[in-house]
Amino acid sequence: MRPVPWLSPLLYAVVLVAGCYAALAGLGAVRPEFVAGLVALVLVDVVERRRYRDRTPFTPAVALLVVRAALVVVVAAADGSGMSRVLFLLLPFGAYFVFGRVVAIALGLGCAALVVVTFQATVPGWTRQVEQVSDLLMFAVGLVLTVAMAAVAVEEQRGRARLAELSAAAERNRVARDIHDGLGHHLTAVSVLLEKASAFRDRDPAVADRALDDARESARRALDDVRRSVRTLREPFRLASALSELTRGLKVTLDCAGDESGYDPAVLLAVYRAAQEGITNALRHARASAVSVEVHCGQSNARLVVADDGRGFAGPEGFGLRGMRERVALVGGAVEVHSEPDAGTRLVVTVPRSAAS
């Protein structure tokens, strides 16, 4: 994790302006080490960010902390305005991101102690002077706010990291569903057609040849489907034509009605993937002899019905159906599955015209 990148340059600029003003107005002497120290601090920040883009390792972080502390002491000693004391706040702030809260608080207390020692050595009777006591109190308040700001910034960065992990997991799940729903369907179709070609090879070579041709076409569509998933469907998606290609050469009757124009592409894709899963389950698991697919795109929602005369099921749902429910739920839809052993399966999917926000 990195500290807030704009904070250090802002404080360097404020200290530089304050020191120059103090020198010009005669409010305090400013030695050349003042500007040189600020330039060195800027260079340390630049080198660290270029050398360690994401996170500074422990040992270099300790060395850089020591270098920064020494430079801040040099700048503060050369600044007659006293404004440079604010740079000490950067030490516990940066330490919080690398070493944690305990080290940051301890470093902050050390900085406060250094300010007290400096007052004790340079300002006799400072404890009875309002200006010095007020400066010390303001420095202490600044330390508290600095540690609190660092804690908030660290939690925000952790939250962003967790959000990135969740986004990556969601994308992995999407890809897994695409592979299962798309590629799995086409491979099932290829398997069924090859079995058909094998069964009719001796009895009816013409039927076997047609089955092989359909298997090749299904393999081609599988490749197209993978490419479509990789491109995340940037090209316009047409549900009716996609379903027509999906069922070509299979024992599936298709009936598409209504007007799909104006539908959210994510909704149409969810319907398409649900149809893929329903057909795949019917052909591969239910061993159905007949499968029907009905789609109606109405004014407010789309309805998909996939029915088969297969052996049905009564057990728990597999990955495919769970993935389908997740995909449909993402667009605000619902899935119903009606099935009994030896009585076929009826899959009903209803999704709204626009994806849920």
Banded pLDDT at 178 (limits 50, 70, 90): low
- Alpha helices (runs of H) in 52-129, residue ranges in sequence order: 58-78, 90-99, 101-122
pLDDT at 211: 84
First-last CA distance in the chain = 32
The residue ranges of every structural domain in the chain are: 7-122, 165-352
Instruction: Provide the whole-model pTM.
Output: 0.49
Residue 218 CB-density burial (10 A; 0-12 exposed, 13-18 middle, 19+ buried): buried
How confident is the model at residue 38, as a pLDDT? 93
Euclidean distance between CA atoms 151 and 96, whole angstroms: 7
Give CATH for domain 165-352: 3.30.565.10
Over residues 344-355, the mean pLDDT reads 90
pLDDT of residue 87: 92
Contact, 40 vs 71, CB < 8 A? yes
| Tens digits of residue pLDDT in 232-282 | 445 577 899 889 988 887 889 999 999 998 898 889 989 998 998 899 888
Q: Which residues contact 120 (CB under 8 A, 6 or more apart)?
A: 126
Instruction: Return d(Cα 3, Cα 90) in angstroms, integer.
Output: 10
Q: Are strands 291-297 and 301-308 parallel, antiparallel or unpaired?
A: antiparallel
How far apart, in whole angstroms, are the C-alpha atoms of residue 234 and residue 219?
A: 22
Q: How does strand 334-339 pair with strand 291-297?
A: unpaired
pLDDT at position 169: 67
pLDDT of 134-153, one tens digit each?
Answer: 888 998 999 999 999 889 88
Residue 164 has pLDDT above 90, yes or no: no
Could you tell me what percent of the chain has a pLDDT over 90?
32
CA distances from 287 to 102, 253, 309, 340 (A): 65, 16, 8, 14
What tens digit of pLDDT does each residue of 46-91 get?
999 888 877 888 899 999 999 999 999 999 888 877 888 889 999 9
pLDDT at 32: 87
pLDDT for res 171: 62
- Give the mean pLDDT of the chain: 85
- Give the pLDDT confidence score for residue 221 in this predicted structure: 73
Maximum average pLDDT range among 121-135, 171-185, 290-304: 290-304
- Residue whose token pair is 């305990």: 102
- What is the average pLDDT across 29-39? 88
